[in-house]
Amino acid sequence: MLDKAIPILIGVVVGSIITTAISLYRDRKIYLANFSALMAEIDYCNKLASTYLDDKVKSPLYRLPTIIYKSSIPIILAAGKLTNSETESILNFFNEVDSLNRGLDQIERYRSSSDANETEQEFNRNKIKAGNIKSNHEAAVNTCIKHIAKRASCR
């Protein structure tokens, strides 16, 4: 009877190890993909903030994207690998992105009501928000780079 149980037990253990290894590999790939996409969105938002400051168009047609942030941050946070300061760096960056997007929408409302004074005041606030995006860019990107490098080295 013991002769029959040992191969079954070995099969169960080997099967469990293989399943766990595949799961860990898949999770690492998902984690890396989310951080890589998030970093691309952070860089693109930074570029658009620079464009906003350089072009001096009060209400451009574009808005800064947050779609990757909204879909990736829950996955990244669920992994439990970010420190409080790393989480804060990403949240600060995208808080400013959201704030600028609201400000751009606000200017559009002021422009449609022909309120030049409010439009100018909001434009000045938006320039500060765009500057804050640029200021927060490095910390957010460094967080992504750190986690991409850490996970990529686990090969």
Q: How far is it, in rounded angstroms, from Cα 93 to Cα 43?
A: 11
pLDDT the model gives residue 1: 67
pLDDT the model gives residue 113: 82
Residue 68 near residue 41 (C-beta atoms within 8 A): yes
What are the start-end ranges of the H helices in 56-115? 67-78, 84-112
What's the structural domain count of the chain? Answer: 1
Average confidence score pLDDT of the chain: 89
pLDDT the model gives residue 66: 97
First to last CA, the chain: 41
pLDDT the model gives residue 17: 76
Q: pLDDT, tens digit, for every residue of 52-81?
A: 999 989 999 999 999 999 999 999 999 888
CATH, residue 123 = 1.20.1440
With bands split at pLDDT 50, 70 and 90, how would you rate the model's confidence at 154? Answer: low
With bands split at pLDDT 50, 70 and 90, how would you rate the model's confidence at 42? Answer: very high
Q: In terms of residue numbers, what domain contains 48?
A: 2-152
CA angle, residues 35, 76, 143, in degrees to nearest 5: 50
CA 99, 101, 104, 110 dihedral sign is negative
Please say if the pLDDT value at position 104 is more than 70. Answer: yes
